Amino acid sequence: MKLDVLNINGSNTGRSVELPEEIFGIEPNSHAVYLAVKQYNAAQRQGTHKAKEKHEIARTTKKLKRQKGTGTARAGSMKSPVFRGGGRVFGPKPRDYSFKLNKKVKELARFSAYADKFQNKSIVVVEDFNMATPNTKEYIGILKNLSVQGKSLLLTSDLNKNVYLSSRNLPAAEVRMVSDANVYDIINADVLVLCENSVRQLASSMAENN
């Protein structure tokens, strides 16, 4: 499983990298991916929603009308949910939406996301590069040279501050360290751009885990 390495001008460098079979060659597990994305989205929720129930409403408790003879239902408090401004029945309360996912399931989901991108031929490998200063226009030019269209995710082997800052203002471009990449980011990208050393880092981390 080899891919050619391109430079930032989009030209072939004459080198190639071997993609780890244990990651990019597996059969993608769609359910594991679903669980990982669900966990990620759940963790993004603030869970600060709140509605007041009957006992939390500050209104008079004086009886509104006499008990009988009015022709309507009995009423004893303006806090009742049937009245405008009353409490809400079973309203939302603050809660934590996050949930636990087994480590092996998360690992399978991440590998499945990589394998899916490889099967759909949505991976580009570029040689490691740096930028002297943050420059969004230059970064757009690099993506254009690599024929990247749609949403892109660039994975670097280590922190590359100038490249990250250059992409930060682009809604369809993300830059992550390979160690920080999550399933949602990988799946959400149309094209996965791997720096040369990030592929080696993936292979070495796989070897260490085994």
Q: Give the pLDDT score at 183.
A: 94
Query: Where is pLDDT greater, at 18 or 52?
Result: 52
**Would you state the pLDDT for residue 21?**
87
pLDDT at 61: 82
pLDDT band, residue 12 (cuts 50/70/90): confident
Residue 49 burial (CB < 10 Å; 0-12/13-18/19+)? exposed
Start and end residues for every CATH 3.40.1370.10 domain found in the chain: 2-45+97-209
pLDDT in tens, 114-163: 999 999 899 999 998 888 899 999 999 999 999 888 899 999 888 889 99
| Residue 184: pLDDT over 90 | yes
* Residues 41, 121, 139, 170, CA torsion sign: negative
Average pLDDT over residues 69-91: 91
| 14 Cβ contact list (under 8 Å, min separation 6) | none
Under a CB-based contact definition with an 8 Å cutoff, are residues 26 and 42 in contact? no
Q: What pTM value is reported for the model?
A: 0.81
Burial code of 136-170, b = ≥16 C-beta within 10 A, e = fewer?
eeebeebbeebebeeebbbbbbeebeebbbbbeee
Structure tokens of 200?
Answer: 């080696």
**Is 3.40.1370.10 the CATH number for 2-45+97-209?**
yes
Average pLDDT, the chain: 90
Element holding 195 (H helix, E strand): strand 191-195
**Residue 60 confidence (pLDDT):** 84
At residue 40, does pLDDT exceed 90?
yes
- CA 202 to CA 144: how far, in whole Å? 26
